[in-house]
Amino acid sequence: MKSLILLIFFLSLLIPSKALAQFSVIDSLRIELNKPNIHDTVKIKILNGMIWRLNIYQKDSALYYINIYKELAIKNKRTKDLCKVSHFESITYVDQGKYALAKAAAFKGIQIARDNNFKYIEADSYSDLGNIYLKEGNLDSALILYQEGVNFSVEGAKTTGNKLKPAEARNKINVSEVYKLKGDFVNALESSYEALALCKKHNLQGYLASIYNLLGEIYMEAKDYPKAKINFLEAIKFSNKLNNLNKLSITYELLADCEVFEKNYKEAEKHLESSLQLGRKSKIPTIEGRALWKLAYLYHLMGLNEQALITINKSSKLLSENKDYLELINAMRIKGVIYISAGKFTAAKEACLKAKSLNNSTGQKADEMEICHCLYEACKGTNENNLAIIYLECYMSLKDSLMNYSVSRKITQLEYQKLYNEKTILDSIITIKKISTQNFIHEKERSRQNIILTATICLTAIILISLIFFILHYFSNKNKNKLLTEKRKLIDKQKNSIEISLHQKEVLLKEIHHRVKNNLQIISGLLELQYSSLEDKKKGTALREGQARIKSMALIHQKLYQTEDLAFVNLKDYIDELINYLKGVFFSAKSLKKELELEEINLDIDTAIPLGLILNEMISNSFKYAVKSTEDLIITIKVSQIRPGEYQLILADNGPGMPEGFDILNSQSLGLKLIKRLTQQLFGSFNFFNDNGLNIVLTFKDTALRKEVD
């Protein structure tokens, strides 16, 4: 009987890692474990084979069998198995989000290993503990623990031989992962290549796919997408050798991320489809569920909302049925985003509330800011104004703290990017020097042979003169090339510093415009909520007009941070978007016809802000007063350049026009006062007349011409 059990156990280790086969193995081992009269030693071996499979395929059952394993290990005084129990407990508790229990288990494993001089187990335990701190986001503590694991592995290898090499490789990979998260690409690459060399030297095939994946992620973070793709393809090659479907799926997802960054959505879709097929083939719900929600988000980016909804529903259902709560948080958040885009605010709210509940219950902090923003948008859509304000405040609080961190991290990453670029350039120079040296040696050898051949024919004097000339010519060129190379290096260094400084300023300026736009948007949102609670229509109209003026300014800042140079607003795009917004605020006619004749004009912010406010007043006036009951509204806007720096704007509608005898210059209307003052600010003029409706003619000058005139 014992021989039969051992045979089943060892055969189970040889079965391919396909989930259908694994489920069969788990069931077989469970049956053998529950048979009567089985010796404890056999039970321990069966449990050791079961638990790591349960942690992948049946996570809910893992802790139950770990406790049985622990009781048997204590009863039989098997200290190595107690270390393994601690390892399994820490992994299981991390999956459940119980980090304090996971740490306690890992520390216990370290202590048992240290007391019994199990050096390779102690090195692995440092890796387990570092993984927990990494999950918590404590990068510095994780880095210290991983480096301690590396040091311990190297030191232990002196007495135990190569037994600690896998632990050294794992910890080097982990060190590289932390450096990558910190944005230190140079150290991340150095640690990764050290791990790669170690694995190749000692034939640790199982780690090669992970290392190539990590190298691809580092190059992707450094925006070196061609190198990232090369490493991902290497990872696929080694994962295929090991038939590791989970690792293959992750690599295809990373390839998809790479293509999304380059906006190659079709290629990204192919890679995610490959990941999805691998998930279905492996029968592991986490792989399939994760691939589905990533594919749903890609469809959302491609504007395929209906397809995105079908896909995200499949993902959330699959992850929910299998109680994979960490991936379900992501799926529900993405579902909320897609529902909001489709205008289904109640469904979006339900999805986001579930994501928030799971986030809190599992102790996760990931995506909390995005969830609050989704809830704000959803509650605003369902007219739950008080809730909307609460979630908006929560979102802004998280965004402020994140923005401070993000700006700091962006600047840090720019410094690391500079080091990475300098190292890449240095590596290229070294390679070129090696090639040049080899070419020079080759040429020198040829010359030497020619000289020897010629020496038999020519006079010694001619040979000496030729040789002297060659040497002088060589050293002259060498000195010139050296000076030229040094000058080029200095120029490249100065150019690189200027480019980094300029990019930093662009990043900060974009953040400022984005922040100003967000603040104006919040004010607009608060005015909208206040408007819904007012019963006085006159006051409500005033609020609406104020909201529209704020929106016209916010739109300027939005257009600025969406442009490449952050300095000019495209007037054509701005006018079109402003009309669409004001239509939703004031217009109630059957339809609107826009007749826009706009030249390609880009305006600076000092001109765009006052002009935007003027346009807001003109267009709002048309929406409020030009509507006739028997026909649809027609608004015509023409903008042209009179001469460099000076422009003419004509706005006309098919309304009744100004009443007879109306004195526009002495009018007390706030809107007309604004138009007059802002026109003066733009060194311009405006006039109006009735011709099948109101016609307004405005001339204005841009900032450069105003300064010249001033």
Phi, psi of 17 (to 5 degrees): -80, 60
Residue 513's identity, in one-letter code, is H
* pLDDT at 333 exceeding the cut of 50: yes
pLDDT band at 284 (very low <50, low <70, confident <90, very high): confident
| Cβ 516 vs Cβ 557: under 8 Å | yes
383 against 161, higher pLDDT: 383
Distance from chain centroid for Cα 267: 18
pLDDT score of 423: 52
Looking at every residue in the chain, the average pLDDT score rounds to 78
Maximum mean pLDDT: which of 308-317, 476-485, 584-593 = 308-317
- The 8-class DSSP code of residue 630 comes to S
- Report the pLDDT averaged over residues 399-428: 51
- CA-based nearest residue to 192, from 206, 164, 213: 213
pLDDT digit string, tens, across residues 186-206: 888 888 898 889 888 888 888
* pLDDT at 427 exceeding the cut of 50: yes
pLDDT band at 510 (very low <50, low <70, confident <90, very high): low
pLDDT score of 206: 82
Q: Would you tell me how many other CB atoms lie within 10 Å of the CB of residue 550?
A: 20
pLDDT band at 95 (very low <50, low <70, confident <90, very high): confident
**Half-sphere CA count of 261, side-chain side, radius 13 A:** 17
516 against 312, higher pLDDT: 312
Q: Length of the chain in residues, anyone?
A: 710
The set of residues, in sequence order, having a beta carbon less than 8 Å from that of 563 and lying 6+ positions away, is 569, 570
- Report the pLDDT averaged over residues 606-611: 89
Residue 105's identity, in one-letter code, is A
Beta bridge partners of 590: none
pLDDT score of 533: 66
Q: What gap in Å lies between CA 107 and CA 128, rounded to an integer?
A: 9
Q: At what angle do helices 368-381 and 345-361 cross, to 10 degrees?
A: 150
pLDDT band at 30 (very low <50, low <70, confident <90, very high): confident
* pLDDT at 421 exceeding the cut of 60: no
- The 8-class DSSP code of residue 205 comes to G
* pLDDT at 709 exceeding the cut of 80: no
User: Per mean pLDDT, which range of 5-19, 207-221, 664-678 is the poorest?
Assistant: 5-19
**Token pair 């949102």 in the structure block, residue:** 525
pLDDT band at 2 (very low <50, low <70, confident <90, very high): very low
What are the chain's domains?
Answer: 568-709 (3.30.565.10)
- Side by side, the strands of the sheet bearing 646-653 are 592-598, 633-643, 646-653, 694-701, 685-690
pLDDT digit string, tens, across residues 539-563: 667 777 777 778 777 777 777 767 7
pLDDT band at 286 (very low <50, low <70, confident <90, very high): confident
pLDDT score of 435: 55
User: Per mean pLDDT, which range of 224-238, 243-257, 467-481 is the poorest?
Assistant: 467-481
**Token pair 């339900």 in the structure block, residue:** 350
**Token pair 């049956």 in the structure block, residue:** 31
- CA-based nearest residue to 191, from 158, 152, 147: 147
pLDDT score of 699: 94
* pLDDT at 669 exceeding the cut of 70: yes
- CA-based nearest residue to 481, from 444, 521, 437: 437
pLDDT score of 136: 75
pLDDT score of 407: 42
User: Per mean pLDDT, which range of 51-60, 275-284, 472-481 is the poorest?
Assistant: 51-60
User: Per mean pLDDT, which range of 120-124, 405-409, 577-581, 590-594 is the poorest?
Assistant: 405-409
pLDDT digit string, tens, across residues 44-86: 888 877 776 776 666 667 788 888 888 888 888 888 888 888 8
- CA-based nearest residue to 351, from 326, 322, 328: 328
User: Per mean pLDDT, which range of 81-95, 227-241, 373-387, 689-703 is the poorest?
Assistant: 81-95
* pLDDT at 650 exceeding the cut of 90: yes
Distance from chain centroid for Cα 602: 31
Rounding to the nearest 10 degrees, give the CA dihedral for residues 447, 449, 452, 458. Answer: -50
- Report the pLDDT averaged over residues 249-272: 90
Cβ-based burial of 317 (10 A; exposed 0-12, middle 13-18, buried ≥19): middle
Residue 37's identity, in one-letter code, is N
| Cβ 9 vs Cβ 50: under 8 Å | no
pLDDT score of 299: 92
- CA-based nearest residue to 102, from 134, 64, 58, 60: 134
Beta bridge partners of 685: 699
Give a three-class secondary structure readout of 388-434: HHHHHHHHHHHHHHHHHHHHHHHHHHHHHHHHHHHHHHHHHHHHHHH
* 243 φψ region: left (φ > 0), alpha (ψ -120 to 50), beta (else): left
* pLDDT at 420 exceeding the cut of 60: no
Beta bridge partners of 696: 651, 688
Residue 419's identity, in one-letter code, is L
Give a three-class secondary structure readout of 458-478: CCHHHHHHHHHHHHHHHHHHH
Q: What gap in Å lies between CA 94 and CA 102, rounded to an integer?
A: 6
pLDDT score of 429: 47
* pLDDT at 598 exceeding the cut of 60: yes
Cα–Cα distances in Å, from 410 out to 397, 400, 511, 666? Answer: 20, 15, 11, 53
1 against 345, higher pLDDT: 345
pLDDT band at 434 (very low <50, low <70, confident <90, very high): low
- Report the pLDDT averaged over residues 87-115: 83
pLDDT score of 410: 47
The set of residues, in sequence order, having a beta carbon less than 8 Å from that of 484 and lying 6+ positions away, is none
User: Per mean pLDDT, which range of 14-23, 127-136, 280-289, 480-489 is the poorest?
Assistant: 14-23
- CA-based nearest residue to 356, from 344, 372, 379, 337: 372
Name the strand (E) or helix (H) holding 186. helix 185-201
Three-state DSSP class for residue 364: coil
- CA-based nearest residue to 593, from 653, 548, 658: 653
Encoded tokens for 71 = 């009781």
Encoded tokens for 342 = 């489709």
pLDDT score of 697: 93
- The 8-class DSSP code of residue 568 comes to E
Beta bridge partners of 604: 568
Q: What gap in Å lies between CA 354 and CA 339, rounded to an integer?
A: 14
- Report the pLDDT averaged over residues 298-306: 90
pLDDT digit string, tens, across residues 392-409: 888 887 776 655 444 444
Q: What gap in Å lies between CA 65 and CA 52, rounded to an integer?
A: 11
pLDDT band at 362 (very low <50, low <70, confident <90, very high): low
pLDDT score of 180: 83
- Report the pLDDT averaged over residues 30-34: 77
| Cβ 513 vs Cβ 576: under 8 Å | no
Cβ-based burial of 360 (10 A; exposed 0-12, middle 13-18, buried ≥19): exposed
Q: What gap in Å lies between CA 559 and CA 551, rounded to an integer?
A: 12
H runs (alpha helix) in 15-58: 19-33, 40-57
pLDDT band at 20 (very low <50, low <70, confident <90, very high): very low
The set of residues, in sequence order, having a beta carbon less than 8 Å from that of 381 and lying 6+ positions away, is 340, 343, 345, 348
Rg (C-alpha) for the chain, rounded Å, is 35
Beta bridge partners of 531: none
